[in-house]
Structure 1
Amino acid sequence: MAARSFLFVLGSSRPDGNTETLTRIAAEQLPTDTGQRWLSLRELPLPEFEDVRHPERRHTPPSGNAGTLLRATLDATDVVIASPLYWYSVSSSTKRYLDHWSHWLRTPGADFRRRMAGKTLWGVTALADSDLAVAEPLAGTLRISAEYLGMRWGGVLLGTGSKPGDVLSDTAATARAKTFFS
């Protein structure tokens, strides 16, 4: 059996935030032979998504940051979306990444739908609200996206905290992080 390879897509607008901290705690528990690639959407900004599904437009293979993210997404066995909860859903950079999946579905040679099927999609988020139910729209976005592509849904790891480092005080979340990927 081939070793698993995790792609961690960091969707925060700031480095070292609570979502990233919680994600790193979970990733530390992975077996040492598990590949890990960490990509920050802040460092690899994507262009505005343009819907070109109409017949007069051609889907061209992405280049630049979009090409990097497409290749990394296809190369992974597991994709982890690490996005803080913003207005009850994923961050704008994360949403843009998911919007680009629509383009990649139609990109000649990418075979995106077939190659994503069977992979596992995971979510990690930190939120300032103590009511974890407010993260249901975020979890639903990711779960339904996984289902649409025939991916397995690994679940979402939730933690609370507002200021950087606050999530470390959420002992229930840090305990869940230690078994999240098992």
Structure 2
Amino acid sequence: MDRRFLFLTGSARHDGNAEQLARLAAEHLPVGAEQRWLHLADLPLQPFEDLRHSGDGVYPQPVGHERTLLDATLDATDLVIVSPLYWYSLSTTTKLYLDHWSGWLRVPGVDFKRRMAGRTLWGVTSHSSSDRTDADPVAGTLQRCADYLGMRWGGVLFGNGTRPGDVLSDEDALLRAKSFFAV
């Protein structure tokens, strides 16, 4: 099976520590694996509106950036959420992207839950602390999303870095990046 990795970066800046760590890990993807990188800040989404209990509870077909993200998500065999750790959680753009999954579950004809089943969800994050337990809420959120949709959980690659480029000094993270996507 050809693997298609979608890297969704949710940092407020391009080429931040989480993205740098993800790019290092991507250098060791399985041979022949495709990779696509999308910056959520470049594809701004509208605030998520919960329509489940209004009207018929059916969501409209996504358009614009939301359609781009839905199509890219459904095309990927492996979805990599790349988000710095902000206040022990995912970045705002990343959380908003995940909120839109609730709508995609209810868009007629998309069959989001069934189509996501069997794919793999991964996380890459960075934080200014070397305490990896700080990333537990990120890992928990992503793992629960994977479980709900019947996806495989690939785990979280954590790196330490405050200023841009600091993660490149985290030798443990750099070592783990080399085998993170090995399956």
Q: Does TM, normalized by the shorter one, top 0.5?
A: yes
Aligned to 1:167: 167
Task: Give the CA deviation at 1:131.
Answer: 1.1
Aligned to 2:117: 117
Task: Give the CA deviation at 1:32.
Answer: 4.0
Q: How many residues align?
A: 181
Aligned to 1:89: 89
Q: Deviations over 1:22-53 (max 9, x none)?
A: 00000011134111110000100111000011
Q: Deviations over 1:117-165 (max 9, x none)?
A: 0000000000001211111001100000000000000000000001000
Aligned to 1:130: 130
Q: Tell whether the 8 Å contact from 2:84 to 2:90 is kept in structure 1 after alignment.
A: yes
Q: In structure 1, what is the Cα distance between the partners aligned to 2:65 and 2:36?
A: 15
TM-score scaled by structure 1?
Answer: 0.97
Gaps (5+ residues) in structure 2? none
SS of the equivalent of 1:158 reads strand
Aligned to 1:142: 142
Q: Tell whether the 8 Å contact from 2:88 to 2:138 is kept in structure 1 after alignment.
A: yes
Q: Deviations over 1:100-121 (max 9, x none)?
A: 0000000111110000000000
Q: Tell whether the 8 Å contact from 2:4 to 2:33 is kept in structure 1 after alignment.
A: yes
Aligned to 1:42: 41
